Structure 1
Amino acid sequence: MRKIIAITQVTLDGVMQAPGGPEEDPSQGFTHGGWAMPFIDDTAGQVIDEIISREFDLLLGRRTYEIFAGYWPHHDDNRIGKAFNRATKHVVTRRLDRLDWKPAQRIGGAVEDEIRRLKASEGPEFHVWGSGALLQMLMSADLVGEHRLWVFPLVLGSGKRLFEAGVPPRRMALVETRSTPSGVLLNTYRPAGPVKTGSVALPASPAKKSVRSAKTPR
């Protein structure tokens, strides 16, 4: 069984859109592209090195694949570029008939069934970077085995969010947390079952206490 790991950069208000640069995803009038970059420091770089040092495949949506394919093949001298270029890219798309950034495999048709089949096969873990629409589907199908959330200390107020309406309620178990000097929280969560609810047991007010005292036999 292959684990699907979502590695997502989010703001305090949950925005995940275009952390890497102004031209990454300006759709819906988004003007804050590149918001994560001022916070990337040596500690964050060390964590990225740890992530990419292991064998992995990439599971990407079409838009993220196209962004990556336009950049990383030209940066094979970069440690991230080497790892991404080496990894097999599994791309969810109904538009692209040809995938030029190799090695790559297209996932179309019955996407959820195909991803379940891949997840059950032998091979390295899957890393999902970005790919917001794909993540919504994966979370709805309960296919994400681990969330590595990089929570950045800023609020944007608008933009595409990781946990959009329609994602089923779930508890998450915090299994690891780290922080960087720039204030980024690097939290790792795993699904922990359905949501549990409860209520706060409020103490009785003084008036009610006095009424009970008056009725108490002496």
Structure 2
Amino acid sequence: MRPVKIQTFISLDGVMQAPGGPEEDTAGGFTLGGWSQPYWDAKMGEVMGQAMAEEYDLLLGRKTYDIFAAHWPNAGDDNPVTQKFNKSNKYVVTSSPNTLDWENSQPITGDVAKGILQLKQGVGLPLSVQGSSELIQLLLENRLADELLVWTFPVVLGSGKRLFGVGIAPLGLELDDIQISSTGVTMARYRTAGDVKIGSFALDAQ
């Protein structure tokens, strides 16, 4: 079974849209792109380097794929992320399978949840999800995600695409690891843990 690992940056109010730059994703009139960069420090670079060093294939939504395909193949071969992304298999949820020009790209069409389940049940590397907000909603709704690496930045953005959208299915999580940067960014790794556990602080009746 191939695990599906979601890796994402979010603001304190849960927005994951366009952390890397002003023009990354302006959908819905989003004007605060690039909000993660001012918080970057050496600790975050270390943790990111460890995550990028793992072996994986990419599982991407079409919008994120197009952003990556326009940038990474031209970022220079001396960049380890470029090398990793170019050589990896890229599974892309798309309605236009004939327009995937980045090397080693394969489309997922039709019943997306079924297609991803078949990928998970096959033999191969873990599947890394980056960006791809709409795809993440589908993965969580269908209990297809196994791990979430969530970096939470101490900033409130107010609006934008959220990691946990309206109507998201309830899901239990277990903390596997957490680290904190000098700038207050929490880098937490969670494993999915089935249904939400319910308890009560109510006092027993006397």
- TM-score band by shorter chain is over 0.9
Greater CA drift, 143-152 or 82-91: 82-91
- TM-aligned CA distance change 1:154 to 1:109, over 3 Å: same
Q: Which residue of 2 aligns with 1:61?
A: 61
Once the two structures are TM-superposed, the CA of residue 202 in structure 1 deviates from its matched residue by 4.7
Q: What percent identity do the matched residue pairs reach?
A: 47
Once the two structures are TM-superposed, the CA of residue 203 in structure 1 deviates from its matched residue by 8.9
Within 5 Å, which residues of 2 pair with 1:112-151? 112-151=113-152
Greater CA drift, 33-42 or 65-74: 33-42
Mapped to 2, the partners of 1:34 and 1:148 lie a distance apart of: 19
Mapped to 2, the partners of 1:199 and 1:46 lie a distance apart of: 40
* SS in structure 2 of the partner of residue 16 of structure 1: coil
Once the two structures are TM-superposed, the CA of residue 199 in structure 1 deviates from its matched residue by 2.7
Q: Which residue of 2 aligns with 1:11?
A: 11
* SS in structure 1 of the partner of residue 158 of structure 2: coil
Is the contact made by 1:57 and 1:127 (CA closer than 8 Å) also made in structure 2?
A: yes
TM-score, with length taken from structure 1: 0.90
Q: Which residue of 2 aligns with 1:21?
A: 21
Within 5 Å, which residues of 2 pair with 1:1-218? 1-75=1-75, 76-202=77-203
Mapped to 1, the partners of 2:82 and 2:48 lie a distance apart of: 12
Greater CA drift, 1-10 or 79-88: 79-88
Once the two structures are TM-superposed, the CA of residue 44 in structure 1 deviates from its matched residue by 1.2
Mapped to 1, the partners of 2:204 and 2:138 lie a distance apart of: 44
1:54-104 CA distance string (max 9 Å, x none): 211000000000000000000132121111111111000003422111111
1:106-130 CA distance string (max 9 Å, x none): 1111211111111111111010000
Is the contact made by 2:97 and 2:109 (CA closer than 8 Å) also made in structure 1?
A: no
Mapped to 2, the partners of 1:140 and 1:84 lie a distance apart of: 27
Show structure 1 runs of 4+ deviating over 4 A. none
Once the two structures are TM-superposed, the CA of residue 201 in structure 1 deviates from its matched residue by 2.8
1:6-51 CA distance string (max 9 Å, x none): 0010011000000011111101111000001111221111112111
Query: Structure 2 stretches of 5 or more lacking a match?
Result: none
Mapped to 2, the partners of 1:54 and 1:195 lie a distance apart of: 30
Mapped to 2, the partners of 1:44 and 1:86 lie a distance apart of: 24
Larger radius of gyration: 1
Letter in 2 for 1:5: K
Greater CA drift, 100-109 or 192-201: 192-201
Query: Structure 1 stretches of 5 or more lacking a match?
Result: 205-211, 213-218
TM-score, with length taken from structure 2: 0.95
